[in-house]
Structure 1
Amino acid sequence: MLIDSHCHLDRLKAAPDADSLDQIIQQASARDIAYFLCVNVRQQGFEAMRDKMAAYDQVFLSSGVHPLDVQEGLDVDQIKAFANEKKVVAIGETGLDYFYANETKAMQQACFEQQVALAVEVNKPLIIHTRDAREDTLAILRNGQGDKVGGVLHCFTENWEMAKAAIDMGFYISVSGIVTFKNAGELRSVIRKVPQDRLLVETDSPYLAPVPHRGKENQPAFVRDVAEFVAELRGEKYEDLAAFTTENFFNLFKDAARLAGR
């Protein structure tokens, strides 16, 4: 059994309606993907995402504002209200992205700080997006006592020093299809070092389809390709990697309820 620990099912062009979304989830289930975490990036889009996923008990949700969406605003009370809904297991996607939006650095930092504080208040883990902002990301997590709730650095592309610092604060490292790309040599060396009890796998679909699906819209079914590649990379059996990443998911996202028979 596998879990796609980070996807955006509500953004799939291949699933504009309930029937096509059913098909996407069935295709993933056929490849042994049993659960999904559908991640919020805009608080204005949460309710539509929630309603679209309402029929799927195996789909968990998060509530938060992405660093590339901070200009749309952050209403902490609204995010908190969403966070208290039954299927919401995390705060995020939040964090810092200086690669694409260095001009909003100050706004990103303020938004990130507020969401870290909220996560601590509601006792839910954080889903972190970080790019070209290693020192500031770690500093905000430390200063905001993010270690009290932990979380995951999703779609990780940074160096081992950052991974180790995050792990030491109780965070997990999640690997996406980027690890299968030809230019991912440094990332592969990092993923080899991540302890078994701190590793997750994801698609970040509909983005970043792994080899051999490059050029296609990414889907949760492709997390199987990521997991198989990572298992081979680390010299582990696929079945073992699937088992320990599943346990890691439920250890981190404690509000995610296992379904009977899964």
Structure 2
Amino acid sequence: MLSKFVSFQSSTDNRDKMLKMLQNWELLRSYMLLGIDNQQSEQKFLVYQHIYVCRRLLRLGKSLQTILNILQKQQIHHPKKHFHQIPHAVNEMSTYSVYMFYFFFHLIEGIMVIHQMGFFEKTFNHQLLKIISHSFWTLGLLTQLVFYLNRLRTNFRRESEMKQQIQNGISNQEFISQIKALTNERYQYGLLILRIIGDLTCAMQKAQIPEQILNTRFNRGLVALGGLMSSAIQIYLQAKREDKKENVCEV
């Protein structure tokens, strides 16, 4: 168990997922302490903000690599690389739409991090940049959500077609095997959809979308629960993949 944990956390991406869970846990604790111990609540919120800055610094290299990969269009053309593998044949337009939204998200986030480190003399409106970057993140998540919902619909249709094939002489063993595969696939899609919904609470909040549409803001507790759900699912899926010696990146 210890060796598996050491192996899991040796990846920068996996450490980022663990920090994401810790970050949102501190945000949830901050929300729970509101009205009970406001000073302690504020301290928890400061810890949350510090972890957020730390994660942005850790993701700086990843963001630049992602941008480089997108510009070189290696996601589709080099499927053998572990961070470019895509489960199932996908529509290129959907794939590139997601990556392009993330391209702008990572680009703006990278600019803000570098500016905060003092490399630019020009003054930037960080609040505006944060709204723009998280708007791109929201669009990317919504594109992913539509993609996985469509895959889920296709999965149910394939199962229905499989049941009709019983009359065409398919063996019971083969039928059960294929149904199990479809069920497992559906389970994976369900988790990925929940992960996206969790991330959407954070992305939409920082993009100020609830304020513009509903004239309100999500409270810290809702955002924290969304982040915790997303990070827990990410850690679970990645741990399962590493156990099976798989390394597949979601679209």
**TM-score, length basis structure 1:** 0.27
Higher helix proportion: 2
Structure with the larger RCO, 1 or 2 (CA within 8 Å, 6+ apart): 2
Higher strand proportion: 1
- Give 1 or 2 for the bigger CA radius of gyration: 2
